[in-house]
């Protein structure tokens, strides 16, 4: 008689779920802060019921019968805002690009990298309008004040994007440039820049898009542009003119975003292949 030995059934051991008390505590603290901040705001809850009707009323006041006579002036002020954004972008590129390369790992000493990265974080934490208020005591209420504020704020974002892009490139060309006896500048020029140039162009265009929108906000403090005009007519309750200004701002911003986005996609993805029949 032959005895067939069957293997014992496999026992599946399910590991215990990892306990993360610090994560639970963090969520509890964050939730408590959000709840306390929400309830500490002095909100007239009774007026929330009137909000939909007020939105409809002001929408009709602005767009029911727009004052198209102000369209030429609105286009001119919008052009000034675009000029402000363009100058701020160029200045930000010139200032941020060299120091972003030095902030990358492998191209600058540790103390300098820490200093520059801390500077980038500090600048990003301060809104453009606060920077403009600080420097307007020197430059005055001019479009150049807005351009400088946009340039300084752009250093924070362009610097961070720049050193992250440099650190993400393949190390092969860099090692080849160093093996050939190249110094830091030669390595950056021949080993790094050809790889990061498309990304940098994309960053610059995207920063210009951000500056176009921010330039309208800077007009609220009187540095010129469409934001200054929008603030003036809003204070005088000329809603028909405000409607025209909003139409111009939205249309121009969407047009610039579409053109800039198409250029960025062309830079990053290249030309699409055509199928020849």
Residue 249 is assigned to a structural domain of this protein: yes
The CATH number linked to 234 is 1.10.3720.10
82-97 tens-digit pLDDT: 889 999 999 999 999 9
Cβ–Cβ < 8 Å for 240, 61: yes
**Quick one: pLDDT at residue 6?**
64
How far is 182 from 191, CA to CA, in rounded Å?
10
Confidence band, pLDDT 50/70/90 cuts, at residue 14: low
Of 183 and 113, the structure prediction assigns the larger pLDDT to: 113
200 found inside a domain: yes
Residue 1 lies in a domain: no
pLDDT at 10: 61
Backbone phi, psi, residue 169, to 5°: -75, 155
Overall size of the chain counted in residues: 277
User: pLDDT band for position 15 (50/70/90)?
Assistant: low
| Lowest-confidence pick of 73-77, 175-179, 197-201 | 175-179
Q: Would residue 190 count as lying in a domain?
A: yes
How many independent structural domains does the chain possess? 1
Q: Is residue 277 part of a domain?
A: no
pLDDT at 13 over 70: no
Q: Is residue 119 part of a domain?
A: yes
Residue-wise pLDDT for 27-83, tens only, equals: 888 888 888 877 777 666 677 777 788 888 878 888 888 888 888 888 898 898 888
Residue 206 lies in a domain: yes
Give the model's pLDDT for residue 5.
Answer: 59
pLDDT digits (tens, 9 = 90+) for 18-28: 667 777 788 88
| Poorest-pLDDT segment among 39-53, 124-138, 194-208, 256-270 | 39-53
Q: What are phi and psi of 247, to 5 degrees?
A: -60, -45
As given in the structure block, the two tokens for residue 140 are 């005055």
Domain carrying residue 95: 66-269
> Residue written as tokens 């351009």?
147
Mean pLDDT of all residues belonging to the chain: 82
Q: What is the Cα 177 distance to its own chain's centre?
A: 33
Q: Residue 53 falls within a domain, yes or no? A: no
Residue 276 clears pLDDT 70, i.e. is over it: no
């Amino acid at each position: 008689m032959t005895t067939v030995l069957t293997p014992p059934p496999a026992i599946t051991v399910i590991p215990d779920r990892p306990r993360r008390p610090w994560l639970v505590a963090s969520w509890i603290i964050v939730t408590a802060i959000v709840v306390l901040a929400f309830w500490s705001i002095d909100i007239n809850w009774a007026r929330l019921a009137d909000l939909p009707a007020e939105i409809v009323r002001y929408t009709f006041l602005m767009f029911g019968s727009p004052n198209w006579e102000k369209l030429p002036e609105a286009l001119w002020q919008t052009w000034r805002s675009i000029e402000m954004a363009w100058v701020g972008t160029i200045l930000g590129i010139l200032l941020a690009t060299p120091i972003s390369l030095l902030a990358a790992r492998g191209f600058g000493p540790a103390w300098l990298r820490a200093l520059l990265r801390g500077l980038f974080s500090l600048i990003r934490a301060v809104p453009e309008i606060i920077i403009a208020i600080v420097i307007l005591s020197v430059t005055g209420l001019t479009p150049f004040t807005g351009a400088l504020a946009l340039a300084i704020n752009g250093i924070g974002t362009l610097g961070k994007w720049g050193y992250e892009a440099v650190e993400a490139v393949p190390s092969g060309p860099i090692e080849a440039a160093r093996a050939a006896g190249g110094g830091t500048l030669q390595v950056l020029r021949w080993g790094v820049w050809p790889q990061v140039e498309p990304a940098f162009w994309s960053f610059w265009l995207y920063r210009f898009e951000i500056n176009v929108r921010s330039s309208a906000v800077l007009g609220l403090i009187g540095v010129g542009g469409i934001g200054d005009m929008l603030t003036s007519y809003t204070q005088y309750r000329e809603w028909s003119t405000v409607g025209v200004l909003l139409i111009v701002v939205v249309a121009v911003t969407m047009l610039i975003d579409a053109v800039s986005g198409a250029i960025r996609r062309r830079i990053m993805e290249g030309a699409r292949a055509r199928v020849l029949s």
